[in-house]
Amino acid sequence: MTSAVFSPFTLPCGAQLPNRLAKAAMEENMSDEGQVPGPNMLRLYQRWAEGGTGLLITGNVMVDGRAMTGPGGIVLEKNSALAPFEAWAKSAKKNNTQAWMQINHPGRQVYAAMGGDVLSPSTVPLDLGKHSHLFGKPRAMTHKDIEHLIQRFVDTALKAEQAGFDGIQIHGAHGYLISQFLSPLTNKRKDEFGGSIENRMRLLISIIEAVRAQVAPTFAVAVKLNSADFQRGGFDADDAKIVILAMNKLDVDLVELSGGSYESPAMQGTTADGRTLQREAYFLDFAKEIAQIATMPIMTTGGVRRLAVAEDVLANGIDVVGMGTALAMNPSLPNDWKKNNQLSAHDPVVRWKDKTLSSIATMAVIKRQLQRMGEGKQPKLNASPIFSLINDRIRLKKLTKRYQAYLAR
Ligand SMILES: Cc1cc2nc3c(=O)[nH]c(=O)nc-3n(C[C@H](O)[C@H](O)[C@H](O)COP(=O)(O)O)c2cc1C
């Protein structure tokens, strides 16, 4: 019997996903000069497309080159040249795969060493204990800043559509700018963008409305949202439900549920408020509840390494299963599952005493696999966390220099 995971799925915009498996956004940090995708990115996405995943969501693409989640990030603005993005979309769609671009603004989650604009709803800096100094101090956004930001999301979405992507995903999770507006811990505003959840979600809702009004009705508009931030006093599951109810009234094609931020890396299975998540499919309990009130399709991402777990996610009323780590360790996992349904993806999680350092090392191991695939190599399952971390630091230093030259231009 074929698994439900391999059944197609039609989205509200009419597009069909060939199966229920999605590669969740993973920032590649592999841009070429000019912060654009190059040959390595094309190789990487073709590899995923050929591996049998139905939907590929790109790593976050910045709507403003002056504010980046990392120095090797991709930027797509109103006046960006389209050719590198057309090539990227083409490589991701090689196998009838749906390709969406995730679009994002980091807000206050910007490394101080990089420079650029550090914006946030209010002036609350990131608190990572002894690592806090690594991040820039945010400036509170004015109304003009907010207006410009909404327009930037629209511009980037339109360019993604022109380049041949099938949809976009607005990044409203993981403590980036939209998520900073959603959380009462980072949003201390007294105007119509702060206070009640109705006000805190105004930015996200305005972006969805503005994008949807400009792109074709057949172009997918999706959102990544935290089921909760997992911080005391932060955006919680009740807030998330109110946001979902508001999005029910808009033409949203898919909501991906995740959780956490740099301060509380729940997306890696660890929370700051001590709440325990499921060992596999971290956010399934939340997603299940949300799916009951959501009229749009729901996807959840986090911790899925085995086919049985993906099947369990679907059996609980979720429509699409997202995977990041598992597809970095094995880009052909969906095709391999068709041959061996017991196959489990390698889990590279690093567990050192310093939780922040462990989290960065885990990311470094995973990012190294993306770089290897970009070079046409196989992932290296036994990659050393220390070596990967050092390699990552050296790479980031070089990329930071290059980014600063870009910024100066
Ligand atoms: C290297 C790396 C980069 C990531 N970059 C992004 C990103 O750009 N946007 C995003 O929404 N999530 C990003 N994530 C989070 C993943 O999309 C996903 O939510 C998380 O890894 C949990 O899923 P998993 O257990 O299947 O990896 C990233 C994760 C990793 C490991």
Long-range pairs, 120-123, Cβ under 8 A, ≥24: 120/177, 120/180, 120/186, 121/180, 121/181, 121/186, 121/187, 121/188, 121/189, 121/193, 121/194, 122/186, 122/187, 122/188, 122/189, 122/194
pLDDT confidence of residue 372 = 97
Instruction: Walk me through the domains of the chain, giving residue ranges and CATH numbers.
Output: 4-346 (3.20.20.70)
CA of 112 to the centre of ligand 1 (A): 22
Quick one: which atom of ligand 1 is closest to the CA of 301? 23
Q: Whose CA is nearest to atom 11 of ligand 1?
A: 25
Mean pLDDT of the chain: 95
Q: Whose CA is nearest to atom 23 of ligand 1?
A: 302
pLDDT confidence of residue 275 = 81
Distance, CA of 13 to chain centre: 21
Alpha-carbon gap, residue 142 to 375, rounded angstroms: 43
Long-range pairs, 361-369, Cβ under 8 A, ≥24: 361/385, 361/386, 361/388, 361/389, 362/268, 363/392, 364/388, 364/389, 364/391, 364/392, 366/26, 366/324, 366/325, 366/328, 366/329, 367/26, 367/27, 367/28, 367/29, 367/392, 368/392, 369/328, 369/329
Alpha-carbon gap, residue 99 to 93, rounded angstroms: 6
Bridge partner residues of 258 (DSSP): 226
Pocket test residue of 75, 177, 267 for ligand 1, highest count of atoms within 8 A of CB: 267
pLDDT in tens, 393-409: 999 999 999 999 999 98
Alpha-carbon gap, residue 179 to 255, rounded angstroms: 14
Q: Whose CA is nearest to atom 29 of ligand 1?
A: 26
CA of 406 to the centre of ligand 1 (A): 26
CA of 324 to the centre of ligand 1 (A): 5
pLDDT in tens, 11-36: 999 999 999 999 999 999 999 999 99
Quick one: which atom of ligand 1 is closest to the CA of 367? 1
CA of 364 to the centre of ligand 1 (A): 12
Our answer on whether the CB atom of 175 is closer than 6 Å to any ligand 1 atom is: no
Our answer on whether the CB atom of 367 is closer than 6 Å to any ligand 1 atom is: yes
CA of 142 to the centre of ligand 1 (A): 30
CA of 191 to the centre of ligand 1 (A): 32
Handedness of CA 19, 179, 70, 355 (dihedral sign): negative
The answer to whether residues 256 and 282 touch, using CB atoms and an 8 Å cutoff, is no
Half-sphere exposure of 123 (CA within 13 A, CB side): 1
Whether residue 1 has pLDDT greater than 70? no
Average pLDDT over residues 64-79: 97
Q: Whose CA is nearest to atom 4 of ligand 1?
A: 26
pLDDT confidence of residue 51 = 98
Angle between helices 355-374 and 39-50 (to 10 degrees): 90
pLDDT confidence of residue 355 = 80
Quick one: which atom of ligand 1 is closest to the CA of 171? 11
CA of 28 to the centre of ligand 1 (A): 10
Average pLDDT over residues 323-343: 97
Average pLDDT over residues 215-240: 95
Q: Whose CA is nearest to atom 10 of ligand 1?
A: 25
Whether residue 176 has pLDDT greater than 70? yes
Q: Whose CA is nearest to atom 21 of ligand 1?
A: 324
Our answer on whether the CB atom of 304 is closer than 6 Å to any ligand 1 atom is: yes
Q: Whose CA is nearest to atom 13 of ligand 1?
A: 26
Helix (H) / strand (E) containing 1:
none
Whether residue 276 has pLDDT greater than 90? no
CA of 146 to the centre of ligand 1 (A): 26
pLDDT confidence of residue 129 = 86
The answer to whether residues 197 and 249 touch, using CB atoms and an 8 Å cutoff, is no
Whether residue 270 has pLDDT greater than 90? no
Alpha-carbon gap, residue 360 to 152, rounded angstroms: 29
Whether residue 89 has pLDDT greater than 80? yes
Alpha-carbon gap, residue 314 to 224, rounded angstroms: 18
**Torsion angle of alpha carbons 25, 343, 5, 47, nearest 10°?**
40
Q: How many helices (H) and strands (E) does the chain have?
A: 13, 14
Our answer on whether the CB atom of 228 is closer than 6 Å to any ligand 1 atom is: no
pLDDT confidence of residue 156 = 98
Pocket test residue of 325, 349, 366, 392 for ligand 1, highest count of atoms within 8 A of CB: 325
Instruction: Count CB atoms within 10 A of the CB of residue 4.
Output: 12
Quick one: which atom of ligand 1 is closest to the CA of 323? 26
**Side chain identity at residue 200, one-letter code:** R
Alpha-carbon gap, residue 22 to 284, rounded angstroms: 16
Whether residue 69 has pLDDT greater than 80? yes
Our answer on whether the CB atom of 303 is closer than 6 Å to any ligand 1 atom is: yes
pLDDT in tens, 104-155: 999 999 999 999 999 999 999 999 888 899 999 999 999 999 999 999 999 9
CA of 282 to the centre of ligand 1 (A): 13
